[in-house]
Amino acid sequence: MSRRGRPKSISLALQGGGAHGAFTWGVVDRLLEEEGLVISGISGTSAGAMNAVVLASGLAKGGVDEARAALSHFWRDVSRDGHMSPLQRTAFDRLLGTWSLAKNPAYLAMDVASRFLSPYDFNPLNINPLRDILIAHVDFEAIRASDVKVFVSATNVRTGRARIFGHEEMSAEAVMASACLPQLFQAVEIDGVPYWDGGYMGNPPLFPLYEQTEADDIVLVQINPILREETPRTAAEIQNRINEITFNASLLAQLRAIDHASQLIEQGLLTRWTLGGSSFRRVRLHRVGGAEQLADLDLSSKLNPEWAFLQHLRDVGRAAADDFLTAHYDDIGRRSTLDLRLELADD
């Protein structure tokens, strides 16, 4: 699909969220169809990091068509690998049409075991099939040689700080570090430093796009709802909400910093300049979110690899991206469509 006018350069910031990352797959698939959009940078965390490198590898090797095919093949193999997993929906859940794994005996056993056993106990060989899938689908050398800049975040276990792996150091280890949930996998060590999931400190990282790419428009693909109207009451609901708050905290902190810098620019108190390697400039923020579409999915569904579920999320993501483009394509390159002051309001 194409629209008249000059191409518009954008950067993508892709949140993590396990299997819910298939929603992001759908969003990106639809954006890639839009011939008027050019992707100049991508950042991601966890599943968002995997989407980021699969996308970047495809673009580097064969352009838009290759990127779309690469994402589809990657998620198909994720589903195939999980087909033999004991983490499957029960017959009752299938009958009701829900995607939850919360009633699955294996999920319940894993949930209990994770409170007493660490990955060093139940997975001493540190087996993670996702790494093999990632290596099979991603040409990291092509990414490093590409003009599309890619950044993924991980959490330094020792310092508790975010580590941003930049374009030149992109590797399978960096992506696996970004996706390393400490309850399920041993810390990923890179140059002797242990890393956990980047969602704790940067989900997704915005500042590399803000500082190191030329595109003035950042499209955030958000799959973890910020707002919940109802107070969670069950144990599962409480855990799910804690997870959402934890993995959105770093995003909100980055949005506050960008909003503050934007206000200073608007007031004429800050011009485009560089201090300590950080470039301050006006950026336009946009969001394709899955808050409404994903709000009813519980925490357990993030571990659901069922192909029908991943396809469902892809289709929901495509629809969300299509709605965004219909409403805001003309705004790209002109103004922000994400109202930070409303987003960061205290109540």
Tens of pLDDT, residue by residue over 169-219, are 999 999 999 999 998 899 999 999 999 999 888 889 998 998 888 899 999
**Which range has the worst mean pLDDT, 129-143, 144-158, 197-211?**
197-211
Strands 273-275, 217-222: parallel, antiparallel or unpaired by DSSP? Answer: unpaired
Q: How confident is the model at residue 2 (pLDDT cuts 50, 70, 90)?
A: low
Check whether 265 has a pLDDT greater than 70: no
Can you give the pLDDT at residue 173?
97
pTM to 2 decimal places: 0.90
Do the Cβ atoms of 255 and 263 come closer than 8 Å? no
Provide the mean pLDDT of the chain.
87
For the chain, the C-alpha Rg in angstroms (whole number) is 20
Q: Where are the alpha helices (DSSP H) in the chain?
A: 21-33, 47-82, 91-96, 105-113, 119-122, 129-137, 140-145, 172-178, 207-212, 235-266, 291-294, 307-328, 340-343
- pLDDT tens digits along 290-332: 777 788 888 888 889 999 999 999 999 999 999 999 999 999 9
Local structure of 99: helix, strand or coil: coil
Local structure of 9: helix, strand or coil: strand
To the nearest whole percent, how much of the chain has pLDDT over 90? 51
Burial class (CB within 10 angstroms; exposed 0-12, middle 13-18, buried 19+) of 228? middle
Do the Cβ atoms of 40 and 9 come closer than 8 Å? yes
